[in-house]
Structure 1
Amino acid sequence: MPLERNAIGRFRFPLPAGLEKFLQSVRRIGERSLVSRLLALLMLGAVAVYLIVNIGLWWTASNLIDDNLEKQAVRWLSELDELGTPLYASQGGRHVSNIDKRIKHFPEIAFIRYYDASGRKILGEYGDRRGVEIPLLKPDQIRELSGTGGTERDYLVDRSILSGAYLRFIAPIRVRSIRSDGLLGFSLENEKPENVKVIGYIDLSIDSGYYKEQLVRSIASGSLIIAALMAVGLFFGSRIIRKALAPLTALQVPLARLAQGETDVHVERAKDAEIAVISDALNTTIRALRDRDETLRKMAESDPLTGLVNRSLFRRELEAEIEHASHDAVPSAVFFIDLDQFKYVNDTLGHAAGDKLLIRVAELLKSRVRDKDVVSRFGGDEFTVLARNVSREGAMELARSFNQIMRDMRLVEGDKILSVNCSIGIAMIEPGRHGAEEILAHADMACFEAKSHGRNRMHLYEEGGEGRKEMAMDIGWFQHIKQIIEQDRFRLMYQPIADVIHPDKESYEVLLRMPGPNGEIVLPSIFLPVAQRFGLMTDIDRWVIVHALKALADFRASGRDVIFSINLSGQSLEDASILQLIKDHLTQNRVPPNRVIFEITEQSAMRYLDKARNLIQGLVDIGCRFALDDFGTGFSSFSYLKQLPVDFIKIDGSFVKNMAQNSMDETMVLSIIQIARSLGKETVAEFVPDEKTIAMLKASGVDHLQGFYIGAPSEKLPVNLRVVPKTNKNAS
């Protein structure tokens, strides 16, 4: 029997369909509705009342019957006392034949016995015992009766026969005589002129079952009437309950839709005040959820600074337009707009001025397009425009108008007037020719071509000549990179980073290599620019994060306390989910966050400063550390150190590799080290070429060394590194 995987990933044996249905019905037993629960409570209450009433009636009636029979028995005992006197006078029974006649009129009388004075001899017995064995009087009963003389209750009651079905009344027969004195035979002067003497006993048994049978019949008929009335009450009660709870039951449908994620739901307001409150609360909640979803949608699809659509939504719009163009055979155009010298504005006037400039550019671009066109902030200082149903000539005219409004724009910031130019690349969307990534790559290449001919220019991508060959090559690399990602065939390599003070510490930068179409190893400088143009950098970063953290966990499990430095691209800074991915895989692999350092280049940090700051802070908050790579290449590198919570500064290798021959490079390296130390940050010197450079770096106070001379990248962690002996740093 094949195994199935359940919701939490464990295997289970599939059950037969009949058994599965039975188990589902068992599970549903506890899922009763409120209506059925109330009906069940109503029915239980009715049954309880029914039982209590019947038990009460039976108990009350039984007690009344016993009390009445006891009172009647007292009267019968008195009468039987009188009827039985001749029996004791004659000791033969000729004078008491009328007793049988009397008791025939009373079916409840089971039998009557007369005993002599000793209580052991039966003088007479009357009635039908109905097969019941009646014991003789017991000595203790006779003794107890002898003490009842003169009391209010001059008899005993025995309920032991047939568990109380027979009530046995035993009473003494007493005679009184006046004491004799002289000729008259009695004396009136004596204080006790009478003598009381027990001459026998009357044993009267009454069968209460006769009356109780009548009582059972009466209760049974009454119970049936009560049950019928209760059934009628239950029927109308259930109707009333269902009607009263109908507004509450009606909430099930909108709640079920809401639970499935639908927010296009409205709950009708009930007339009952209590349920109306619930309906109003649900409608308020639904509106809040709808507003939240709309806000989240806008956040996910728009740029928070300019309000334009973001890269993700623009790609979807572009794909839809390509599909539309293939059906209607109407060309459209994509514009890739890059602001010239925008980084200079950021560096000289600050990010607030840069943000104002970006907002103004967004407003101008929106003002030049139609409502059906799409304007996007693609990233940093890059914008894209999708112009629908436009010819080549129309696209060129629109691009010229973009150039013109940029030239004419002036933005006052304090005592300075800002202006900016732009380079524009144009790619036509022709039916059935290219996909979204290819068209964006065409526009990007055309923009690069425009920049190569000077600023504030535009260029229309043409498929032909060298451009066509270059694009065909890029598309080939693009398809190969996608295949490598899908097939999980990238390879990780590790380059050591030596600690000057603690050479025994193991730290490595994780590098990426790609197998080429013919099995050769392709360096990142070949495939990463293509991945950047075709929007694959985030996918590559995700692959590296997942596999590097897994490898780090494996090395640590083998006993090596290793630190990894992992590179992130600028595109990943715009991916809001990258932080959660890192958190998840740190937890999954049980890797201490402080054993991971993430690196971004200085250029990426400056281009995406706000997003870089947020990502770095998020990683620092969970315990990871951060390094700023290729430091020193920007216009105002040092100003960024105060704005980014980085732990390491990696000095650009172009300064390090020539510092032994170039005093300017040496001064630059020394300045970076001194400023980094003053800010409490560690430095890493890249591209270390020889022992002389190592000595100079140590003398300058550098913290870490990296380069092929220290150790070349390898797929296995090296055991021995080329490092200088342990020494103290000199801050000269």
Structure 2
Amino acid sequence: MSLNAYGEMLMRYTESELQGKSFLNILIPEYESQDLLTRFKEIHSGQRMQLRHEAITHCKDGTTRHVAWLHSHLGRQSEDDPSILSVGLDVTEYKRVEGHLAWLADHDPLTNLFNRRRFSEELEQVLSRAERYRHPGALLFFDLDRFKYINDTSGHQAGDTLLKMVASMLAQTIRADDITGRLGGDEFAIILPEINANGAIEVAKKVLDQLGHAQLTINNRTHKISASIGIALFPEHGANIHDLLAAADLAMYQAKAMGRNAWYLFSDKDRSRERIHTLVYWKEKIEYSHLHDNFMLYLQPIMQVKTKEISHYEVLLRMQDKDGSVLSPGEFIPAAEHTGLIHAIDHMVLRKAIAQVAKIYQAGFKVSFSINLSAHAFNDPELLPILKEELTSQDMDPACVMFEITETAALEDLPGARGLMIEIKELGCGFVLDDFGVGFSSFYYLRELPVDVVKIDGSFIRNLSESSDDLILVNALCSVARGFGKKITAEFVESAEILSLIEKMDIDYAQGYYIGKPAPATEFFTEHESDSF
């Protein structure tokens, strides 16, 4: 009988074109079923007062929109009066973003390959089928040679381009049934079902050959691409995910030791020798650094977007090696976890960080600090007593201290992590949920954990100026975080353009190389004597 102006605009029909026509025939023809017709008749007669449903609605120009409909019974004075009011809400864009978020739960957004979580699930299924049907298979695990050098000399954009090139090459190289994933950083893995050792070696050679023919030129600097590939067979080298990945990882390090751009097939004699050698090497380094106080804390500034003032700093751990080089946590934390030294490192970071924060406060700088602890800190019974002792002895205001927690940290024992976080918050400290948005589970942790700030993962921020999808996703993530009453930090802010975009999104804090690089405290607090820190 009638159509409002928005309906005309959305569906490209004029009111006169639709008058006297069947609503179901024209707008949602696939819903023309006896069941729906019956329910419409019930609304018309007043037997049913409302009907809700979603449907694909057809527009005059051939396009379709996803519309959520609410049909309501209207009281009538005569046969000529309307009997049903149909209100439609266009949810097309929402459905697209919802689908993309679901896709992101399983995929790495940069390369479109499976992420670590989904890859692990696929590997578990393949291992299960291999055991049931007694089919052998192989796992290839590799990282790119000199990737850090390319990132450092040509920037993150060059690194991202390289990772996408590798993903594209893998798609052209592997068999239809093979499964690829990006496990993080420059680490990739391939599952090869129903293959023997010789077949797996041939695939590894083919991957190396494909990579060897490619090169990346950025800012007049040309980079060759190569990789070190570790091969592990199943069930021979491991019948579960953990053992198989460990074997492939060790084989990859053997390939690197051979001079890079090489493959290496794992053998059982390597398991104990190489693993023990690596762990002992790093254990000695960690213990030496503890003894000689060679662990350093770097700070990275975090800016309040509205005021453009540095409001707080993230505290980051570094290790100074014997030759003076500075090592990042990624190099020594895995060994610390395997050798049981991780709790000692967490305790040291806690004491050192709070002592440094206290000195900065005493020097007259009133800012907050966000301290990174390992995933193991939240199942450490000594952590809370040490925190209480340090806050008391340093006469610190707990409100200026926050702790960063990732999903990994809470994953193994969510009730335990939540309980400890509540106790720490009762002391007056705060919490930041890091890597927000990487997995669908982020939304669950946001509800379950008492965090104050969420840090949107840098993989969504770094390409914000070039990707409309990332803009939509970051807006969606911000909407969810604000709905829970959380402050929002964007990391990997590496240009004025990205800062301008996040400012328009009403994001609270910005962190990244454009705001400031990680550095010792003395580089930020120079108005007073540097030896205070």
What is the TM-score normalised by the length of structure 1?
0.36
Q: TM-score, normalised by structure 2?
A: 0.49
Higher relative contact order (CA 8 A, sep 6+): 2
Greater radius of gyration (CA)? 1
